[in-house]
Structure 1
């Protein structure tokens, strides 16, 4: 596997006055052999960044590098492969499981070797070659997602991008897919960008977490550190939304104004606010504390501790440790 580097990447939709910057100057590294979790609410730009990594949408500015070189096709294949969110639509219902996986195997492989590779991959994802003649409709949602993972691995990628691969599955099935991801990472030394809105899921599989809000990375660091001591107010807000959290991360002393601020809708991505993009929703920002007008005027660039883009990260209330939240490795089974 290899190192994937998003270097000052911006991605835009449309042109002129109607253009929208969905990803804005993102720097993110997926180290060789590591799983990096990318979290954020819907519309934050996570999936847009993922689609750019596999070449489905163009980059407006910046570069995407693989081992320090521009990301291009290598030997007729894409070195970054994606596993999509919905296993029901990512597989062709008219093709058998074996044919879907075989289609992704490099073309120079002869027929016999292709069949062996299909069997090996089905074993690898714990389905077994006996199901190679089954159609997607004959499989469960979890089995379909395993096939989708096998199909991505069939292309012999150097990095895998997993975009919300458990969100369309029953809770009872999610754990088996996540256990598979951890097993593959250990056995194949797999490099993966793992995208999810579920912090408990990311905690289970990722060694690092990057938190994305309105097209920008607002916090980044080792998973245990970010979840035990989140520095950015938005990360704290995401953690407070994890089921089972008692009272959120702001404590019993949170004011009514603080609660009201956290309920506001995200800013319009077509016209993001100046300064910190989160300041209109921030429970400790200028709408609550007028002395913090710098948040509304100046974009934060100083990164505190494990990298949090917040003017007042050092002075925020401390977050609860992982013992107080279900976002621990025991939370997903």
Structure 2
């Protein structure tokens, strides 16, 4: 069992005036045996953070640590990789010229041929695929079946952490629920840590123990899933929650529902981020709706976030509750 930790991670693309921080000083922990759901709209930096965890995006500053060891230190040849990623498009990550069984076998750490075949069969059973599919090509399987193969391939490397990046968004709605159930069951069986990424809060809340909300390269709120869903502190989190189906009873806290509909505006240009709070040009309870809230225009709410509930990057989030001292 292992813990994945992002420490002030920054990923920068471009140089000079066109440089852009896709991820800006992100700190986030995926605890042992838990699922952290990372949610945010397209362009928020979620996938870039995921790619940084597996070495596919250059880290300009900060570190990604697995049990205190930098994940960029390559493992010994044939020993598997401790952090594995499952991508959005299952067809794009499987070689169309190989059988899906061979693709899974390729990821298994070095072992004998008979043991490798037995492991492939076991993994196919683990993800709910019939052994008859082992000799199939990706083009002969449905999207849901290919995503199961991709999960089997990730597990074949015997990882300690799995990063799942939008793994249901390319699937039909009728298949998404089946894959989500599989993910939840696999995580409970294996007790692997998982970073589960989606733009859909309704999907993230179904599988997550912890929810982190990302906006324009930064984590703006993070806490236990139930607490974030029932008492969201950041206006952006509340808007995401209000847009999600409420079939399980979770909804934005009515105490926070103030006037304003600024969110309909386009996100800022990531090359020219606004001063102060990055969300203030769209915030329904920010200075455009409530002019007295001038702090949002110039002061960075990330400063002091640790003193607010869910470490929220909002000047007006509730403070951490004061610990009660029992009389002795």
Distance in 2, Cα, partners of 1:109 & 1:309: 48
Q: Give 2:136's aligned residue.
A: 134
Greater shift after overlay, 112-121 or 73-82? 73-82
Q: Give 2:50's aligned residue.
A: 50
Distance in 1, Cα, partners of 2:253 & 2:203: 22
C-alpha displacement at 1:9, in angstroms? 0.4
Name stretches of at least 5 consecutive residues in structure 1 with no aligned partner.
316-333
Asked if 1:313 is matched to 2:314, the reply is no
C-alpha displacement at 1:242, in angstroms? 1.3
Asked if 1:276 is matched to 2:282, the reply is no
- TM normalised by structure 2 equals 0.91
What is the aligned counterpart of 2:179 among 171, 177, 180? 177
C-alpha displacement at 1:302, in angstroms? 2.5
C-alpha displacement at 1:74, in angstroms? 1.8
C-alpha displacement at 1:29, in angstroms? 0.1
C-alpha displacement at 1:78, in angstroms? 2.8
- SS of equivalent residue, structure 2 residue 123: helix
Is this contact kept in 2: 1:54–1:78, CA < 8 A?
Answer: no
- TM normalised by structure 1 equals 0.89
Q: Give 2:238's aligned residue.
A: 236
Q: C-alpha offsets along residues 172-221 of structure 1, whole Å, 9 cap, x if unaligned?
A: 11111111111111111111100001111111101000000000000000
Q: Give 2:326's aligned residue.
A: none
Is this contact kept in 2: 1:302–1:310, CA < 8 A?
Answer: no
- SS of equivalent residue, structure 1 residue 87: coil
C-alpha displacement at 1:73, in angstroms? 1.9
Q: What are the within-5 Å matches in structure 2 for residues 69-80 of structure 1?
A: 69-71=69-71, 72-76=73-77, 77-80=80-83
Q: What are the within-5 Å matches in structure 2 for residues 93-242 of structure 1?
A: 93-106=96-109, 108-242=110-244
Greater shift after overlay, 146-155 or 302-311? 302-311
Distance in 2, Cα, partners of 1:241 & 1:60: 34
Q: C-alpha offsets along residues 81-129 of structure 1, whole Å, 9 cap, x if unaligned?
A: 10000112221111111011011112x2121111111111101101032
Is this contact kept in 1: 2:35–2:195, CA < 8 A?
Answer: yes
Paired residue total: 310
Q: C-alpha offsets along residues 103-158 of structure 1, whole Å, 9 cap, x if unaligned?
A: 1112x212111111111110110103221001111111111100000001111111
Distance in 2, Cα, partners of 1:126 & 1:289: 53
Q: C-alpha offsets along residues 58-84 of structure 1, whole Å, 9 cap, x if unaligned?
A: 100000000011112222343111000
Q: C-alpha offsets along residues 19-73 of structure 1, whole Å, 9 cap, x if unaligned?
A: 1000000000000111100000000000000001010111000000000111122
Distance in 1, Cα, partners of 2:258 & 2:264: 14
C-alpha displacement at 1:306, in angstroms? 2.0
C-alpha displacement at 1:288, in angstroms? 1.3
C-alpha displacement at 1:278, in angstroms? 0.3
- SS of equivalent residue, structure 1 residue 109: coil
C-alpha displacement at 1:229, in angstroms? 0.7
Greater shift after overlay, 237-246 or 286-295? 237-246
Q: Give 1:85's aligned residue.
A: 88
Distance in 1, Cα, partners of 2:131 & 2:190: 20
C-alpha displacement at 1:231, in angstroms? 0.2
> RMSD of the TM alignment (CA)?
1.8
